Structure 1
């Protein structure tokens, strides 16, 4: 049943993504129904009595589920319609991944409450920084338009949506709020992960690929926030740090888990 819900949610996301800007109400309704189906199917897929699924596809799907919620709420209050063409197609892909790569179920017996808490915090951290990455891409496109010297502006709904974005300074302030929140959540993810790792493996931190990539991503975002606070970093410097930090964070969980699950066919916790 959840596979049917996944496919229907993906279809609704794609339809909402390609609708014209004038069909704002239809976009909102389709996105909302797709999001509800996505959430229902994801919940049924990842939870079981005394077990939880923690594969890379489930994590990525959950991350995009929260990202779609942010887009839907923010687009009702701000002129961020251009996020639609970035977020919804990616969400449509992510929503069907658990049906293709189901991952493994991890028993909850013998595990403390830190386990589920760590997973929840990490998903929130990844989601917040995913939103920041989409936001940074919009800023890159918005900034590039300012440097194009053309007497005849390009037509098209996406270019029109870019023109309706808030000023770059406003976008930049929102970007740093997202990064600050994501950095805080990522810090909590690392701390809760250290506690969970000690309880499960007998050591505070295992120096595996996930830990190393997560640390480097955390370091990049921390340096960016410090540079913003003390050196006034902004513009292209901020965008490069944001996209680089997100790319490394994507490798930390999705990349390493994809290799383990799909390439090496190894179970993990």
Structure 2
């Protein structure tokens, strides 16, 4: 049944992506309906099997875009983010269809404590939020580079026009550090719960595997960035470098390795 909700969510996102910007109410309501359908279908897919969770790289990417749409919808009430609409919603329309195509692996909950699903949920939200921050930083870099390039509207593609419609760089920077701050908080909870409650969560003592090492390194980078922003006023290329480095480590820690194992090697792990 949830596959119909995935398809309906994708249709809502696609329609709202290409509606004229003057239809603000229709875009807002359509995006909200798509987001609710997306979230409901995603949850139904993750919890499809009794006493187990279905996880995989497709679920992670779909959850990432689900958070992206929520961030866009909420911030669009305070800032004019129409340029982000035509970038975020088409990507969300594609990502929402991935879980049925790449179902991932089923993780049994037998023998796991009640903390385990919460740990997974917080980790997923942390990865999703910081992934959004990375793409946000890339958009800022493109936006800044276009300030030094003059080109007539007739010569611009839809992507270049969408970049032109983004909010001012200072507004984009505020949004970026809001995302990083929230993602860092969630990542801190993920790291602390994984280290302190490893045996209760996973049924084994804490080990220094590749996921743990890359996740902690990413946590350190984002923490240094926030500290540098607070005490040294870091911004611009420095913020971009730290954000992309931290995101790359998270990608290596989870989504990238899951993609290789599930799609290339046809194996599963957690």
Do both proteins adopt the same fold according to a TM-score greater than 0.5, normalized to the shorter chain? yes
Where 1:76 maps in the other structure, the secondary structure is coil
CA distance in 1, matches of 2:189, 2:115: 11
C-alpha deviation, 1:61, in angstroms: 1.5
Task: Give the 3 Å change call, closer, same or farther, for CA 85–174 of structure 1 in structure 2.
Answer: same
1:21 matched to 2:43? The reply is no
Task: Give the 3 Å change call, closer, same or farther, for CA 153–26 of structure 1 in structure 2.
Answer: same
C-alpha deviation, 1:162, in angstroms: 4.6
**Alignment correspondent of 1:144:** 145
C-alpha deviation, 1:149, in angstroms: 4.5
**Alignment correspondent of 1:11:** 11
With the length of structure 2 as denominator, give the TM-score of the two structures. Answer: 0.88
With the length of structure 1 as denominator, give the TM-score of the two structures. Answer: 0.88
C-alpha deviation, 1:159, in angstroms: 5.7
The two structures, once aligned, show a CA RMSD in angstroms of 2.3
**Alignment correspondent of 1:32:** 32
Q: How does 1:172-191 map to 2 (within 5 A)?
A: 172-191=173-192
C-alpha contact (below 8 Å) 2:12/2:30 kept by paired residues: yes
Farther off after superposition, 257-266 or 15-24: 15-24
**Alignment correspondent of 2:85:** 84
Task: Give the 3 Å change call, closer, same or farther, for CA 158–77 of structure 1 in structure 2.
Answer: farther
* Alignment length (residue pairs): 267
C-alpha contact (below 8 Å) 2:59/2:98 kept by paired residues: yes
C-alpha deviation, 1:100, in angstroms: 0.9
**Alignment correspondent of 1:205:** 207
Q: How does 1:220-259 map to 2 (within 5 A)?
A: 220-259=221-260
Q: Runs of 5+ in structure 2 lacking a partner?
A: none
1:134 matched to 2:135? The reply is yes
C-alpha contact (below 8 Å) 2:87/2:162 kept by paired residues: no
Q: Runs of 5+ in structure 1 lacking a partner?
A: none
C-alpha deviation, 1:19, in angstroms: 2.4
Task: Give the 3 Å change call, closer, same or farther, for CA 85–166 of structure 1 in structure 2.
Answer: closer
C-alpha contact (below 8 Å) 1:64/1:91 kept by paired residues: yes
1:108 matched to 2:109? The reply is yes
Farther off after superposition, 225-234 or 112-121: 225-234
Task: Give the 3 Å change call, closer, same or farther, for CA 263–102 of structure 1 in structure 2.
Answer: same
C-alpha contact (below 8 Å) 2:57/2:255 kept by paired residues: yes
